[in-house]
Amino acid sequence: MTLITGDRVVVGADGGVVRLIRGQGRAGTGFSVRREGEHTYVIPQDALRMVGDGVLDRRLFDVAQLVRDGYDDAHGSTLPLIVGYRRDAAGARITTGDVLAGVARERRPLPAVDGEAFDVPKAEATALWAAIAGRGGARTPGAAPETPIARLWLDGRVRAVLDTSVPQIGAPAMWQAGYTGQGVKVAVLDTGVDETHPDLKGVETAQKNFSGSPDSQDRHGHGTHVASTVAWSGAQSGGSRKGVAPGVRILDGKVLGDDGFGSYSDIVSGMQRAVDQGAEIVNMSIGGLDDPGLDPMEDAVARLSGRALFVVAAGNHGDGARTINSPGSAPAALTVGAVDKQDRIADFSSRGPTAAGESKPDLTAPGVDITAAQSTQSAYPRGDGYLTMSGTSMATPHVAGAAALLLQQHPTWSGAQLKALLTGSAEPDPALGAHAQGTGRADLARAATAFVVSEPGSLAFGTHSWPHADDKPVAKPLTYRNHGAEAVTLRLSTAATDPAGHPAPAGMFTVKDAELTVPAGGSATTTVTADTSKGTVDGAFGGTVLATGGGQSVRTGLAVGREVESYDVTLRHLDVDGANPLTYSTTVTAVDTAGESPVGHGEVPYDPSGTVVHRLPKGEYLLESLVFSEGNRMAVFVQPVLKVGADTTVHLDSRKARPFAVTAPDRAARLVASSAAYEYPPAGVAGYFATDGHTRLLTAALGPAAPTLKAQYNGLWKRPGAAGEDVDHRLAFHRTGSWFTGLDRTVKRSEVAEVKLGFGASVTGAKGVVGATPLDGEGFSAGAQPESERSLPLAAAQYVNTAGVRWAWTASQLNALREERMIYTTGPVAYKPGSRHTLHFNTGVVGPDLAAGEEQGANRYGDYIDARVQLFNDGSGHSERLPSPAGSPS
User: Which helix (H) or strand (E) covers residue 159, if one does?
Assistant: strand 157-160
**Mean of pLDDT values over 203-210:** 93
Alpha-carbon distance of 653 to 642, in angstroms, equals 16
Q: Is 612 within the bounds of a domain?
A: no
Alpha-carbon distance of 743 to 737, in angstroms, equals 15
Which of 46, 57, 165, 222 does the annotation list as catalytic? 222
Alpha-carbon distance of 823 to 832, in angstroms, equals 26
Q: Render pLDDT for 815-840 as a digit per residue (tens, 0 to 9).
A: 877 777 788 889 999 999 999 999 99
Which of 263, 265, 305, 393 does the annotation list as catalytic? 393
Q: Render pLDDT for 34-62 as a digit per residue (tens, 0 to 9).
A: 988 889 999 999 999 889 888 999 999 99
Q: Is 636 within the bounds of a domain?
A: no
User: Which helix (H) or strand (E) covers residue 14, if one does?
Assistant: none
Alpha-carbon distance of 792 to 810, in angstroms, equals 15
Same domain membership, residue 399 and residue 474:
no
Same domain membership, residue 151 and residue 170:
no
* pLDDT for the residue 821: 74
Alpha-carbon distance of 805 to 778, in angstroms, equals 10
Give the confidence band of 336 by pLDDT, cuts at 50, 70, 90: very high
Q: Is 60 within the bounds of a domain?
A: yes
Same domain membership, residue 177 and residue 137:
no
**Mean of pLDDT values over 525-529:** 98
Q: Is 574 within the bounds of a domain?
A: no
Give the confidence band of 881 by pLDDT, cuts at 50, 70, 90: low
Q: Render pLDDT for 125-147 as a digit per residue (tens, 0 to 9).
A: 999 998 887 633 344 444 444 56
* pLDDT for the residue 146: 55
Q: Are 555 and 423 in contact (CB under 8 A)?
A: yes
pLDDT beyond 50 at 727 = yes
Q: Which of 533, 562, 591 is the last residue of a domain?
A: 562
| Number of domains the chain is built from | 4
* pLDDT for the residue 132: 83
393 catalytic per annotation: yes
- Rg over alpha carbons for the chain, rounded to the nearest Å, is 31
Q: Is 438 within the bounds of a domain?
A: yes
Which residues, listed in sequence order, are joined to residue 659 by a DSSP beta bridge?
698
User: Which helix (H) or strand (E) covers residue 577, if one does?
Assistant: none
57 catalytic per annotation: no
Same domain membership, residue 502 and residue 422:
no
263: containing domain: 159-450
Alpha-carbon distance of 127 to 234, in angstroms, equals 57
Give the confidence band of 291 by pLDDT, cuts at 50, 70, 90: confident
Q: Are 362 and 461 in contact (CB under 8 A)?
A: no
Give the confidence band of 152 by pLDDT, cuts at 50, 70, 90: very high
Same domain membership, residue 166 and residue 149:
no
**Mean of pLDDT values over 775-803:** 85
Q: Is 854 within the bounds of a domain?
A: no
Q: Render pLDDT for 238-274 as a digit per residue (tens, 0 to 9).
A: 766 789 999 999 999 999 999 999 999 999 999 999 9
Which of 57, 119, 190, 295 does the annotation list as catalytic? 190
Same domain membership, residue 508 and residue 403:
no
Same domain membership, residue 432 and residue 307:
yes
Alpha helices in 85-152 (DSSP H): 125-133, 135-139
Q: Render pLDDT for 678-689 as a digit per residue (tens, 0 to 9).
A: 999 999 999 999
Its pTM stands at 0.86
222 catalytic per annotation: yes
Q: Render pLDDT for 633-684 as a digit per residue (tens, 0 to 9).
A: 999 999 999 999 999 999 999 999 999 999 999 999 999 999 999 999 999 9
Same domain membership, residue 398 and residue 417:
yes
Same domain membership, residue 237 and residue 290:
yes
Same domain membership, residue 406 and residue 472:
no
DSSP 608-664: TTSEEEEEEESEEEEEEEEEEETTTEEEEEEEEEEEESS-EEEEEEGGG-EEEEEE-
pLDDT beyond 60 at 286 = yes
Q: Is 402 within the bounds of a domain?
A: yes
Same domain membership, residue 669 and residue 776:
yes
Q: Which of 531, 562, 593 is the last residue of a domain?
A: 562
CA atoms lying within 13 Å on the CB side of residue 778? 11
Q: Which of 102, 125, 155 is the last residue of a domain?
A: 155
Give the confidence band of 883 by pLDDT, cuts at 50, 70, 90: low
**Mean of pLDDT values over 368-381:** 86
**CATH code (residue 194):** 3.40.50.200
Alpha helices in 155-246 (DSSP H): 165-168, 171-176, 222-231
**Mean of pLDDT values over 323-343:** 95
Alpha-carbon distance of 484 to 39, in angstroms, equals 56
**CATH code (residue 496):** 2.60.40.2310
* pLDDT for the residue 66: 94
Q: Is 26 within the bounds of a domain?
A: yes
Same domain membership, residue 144 and residue 168:
no
